[in-house]
Amino acid sequence: MLPQEFIRKKRDGEPLDEGEIAAFVSGMIDGKVTEGQVAAFAMAVFFKGMTREEAVALTLAMRDSGDVLSWADFDRPIVDKHSTGGVGDNVSLMLAPIVAACGAYVPMISGRGLGHTGGTLDKMDSIPGYKSQPSNAEFRRAVRKAGCAIIGQTGELAPADKRFYAIRDISATVESIPLITASILSKKLAAGLQALVLDVKSGNGAFMQKSRDAAALAGSLVEVANGAALSTTALMTDMNEPLASAAGNAVEVVNAVDFLTGRSRDPRLEEVTLALAGEMLVAAGLAKSHREAEEKARTALDGGAAAEHFARMVSELGGPADFMEDCRVHLPVAPVIRPVPAPADGFVTAIDTRAVGVAVVALGGGRTRPGDPVDHAVGLTDLLPVCAETTKGEPLAMVHARNDAEAARAVKAVLAAYELAPSRPPRRKAVLRRITAGD
């Protein structure tokens, strides 16, 4: 079928079959389908949507556009997690080694920062020597020896997604739920997983700010993944405040090391991390109930096994062998550190989480254009959570900046993002609901 006829069918709301979708995706790779035609198809999907069958076919075609990893010679369950992104969301750094310590293999293929949200890969890149883009052989070796490896998408995995996403980004079609679904799942299916758990964020710091939109995305991801024979469940979690008390790259790595070693753990971060760990262990068949699974995860965390697996992963992928003992020595440090003084006594009642993420980007901790360099040292730490009590002049957060001018702008941005009141607000749950196939 001619590409324009394929686009016309979707534009007119007619169903597309598996062969047509596969041919179109193949054309995206070999150049027979132009950028304009991909953009037109994306816009047609944006307005007309896709059936579950069409979304499954698109996901599988994008998966098959490149390599599909096989773990047939590995003797433990292969499981992973994906987050739709947030601020202070460093869950992956603790979750992968916790689940690995409980007996699964976790080959975690992660992404870079997008918009106001931080990227797991940018965090890992702040570790000196860490190879976040290893060869497939190096990736497999690290997974086998450490039980987990956090790396970036290689050029050989789902290359159709790379081209499709770049075009969606400039054609105002990023928010299409079927296209988001295919983009996320094509990479996870190419990773050769046996089970997947999704962390779908909702709130003022999430891409899907409204609960109903987040639920729709979670439902689409779970249905399409299971339709593609990948056992998948999702947790909807709250992103109406930063998840960790740090937001940035190196500062979130420090936060993760402190979490793994027991030096300090942000309560909401702990709630989400253990809930996702429990979900992954049940999905992997390593626990019969979520209660048993969370107890196993807690034991691996508190007993130090998770920290050992993280240290091994860092070492296997080229990072310092003593990273867990001296992470602050190895990680970059911003030259200017300034407090954000509270303007009054009171309780934190709300945080504009997106504004906090934008402040980190403005400091240089994120990108305004694809390919921009990232300053791994800058960011925010000691972010007070909602419900915290403060007094006038005490820090709401600490700004880590490259110079005084950028620090001053960040202080103003964080002050504007925080709301204080005389009374403590009710606490919100961090884990909102669980979504399974058929919900």
Selection from 199, 98, 130 nearest residue 376 by Cα? 130
Mean pLDDT, rounded, for 53-64 = 97
Query: Number of C-alpha atoms within 13 angstroms, CB side, residue 181?
Result: 34
Between these two residues, 366 and 360, which has the higher pLDDT value?
Answer: 360
CB 168 within 8 A of CB 47: no
Q: In whole numbers, what is the pLDDT of the chain averaged over residues?
A: 94
Mean pLDDT, rounded, for 69-84 = 95
Residues recognised as catalytic: 80-83, 120, 168, 183, 187-188
Least confident stretch, 173-187, 245-259, 291-305: 173-187
| CA pair distance 165, 256, nearest whole angstrom | 30
Q: How many residues does the chain have?
A: 439
Query: What percent of the chain is predicted at pLDDT more than 90?
Result: 87
**How far is C-alpha 118 from the geometric centre of its chain's CA atoms?**
8
pLDDT computed for residue 366 by the predictor: 86
Between these two residues, 137 and 298, which has the higher pLDDT value?
Answer: 298
Which tens digit of pLDDT belongs to each residue from 160-194?
A: 998 898 888 788 888 899 999 999 999 999 999 99
Specify whether the backbone of 54 is left (phi greater than 0), alpha (psi in -120 to 50) or beta: alpha
Beta bridge mates, 337: 400
Specify the pTM.
Answer: 0.93
- Report all structural domains of the chain as residue ranges with CATH numbers, in order of start: 3-63 (1.20.970.10), 79-182+189-326 (3.40.1030.10), 333-421 (3.90.1170.30)
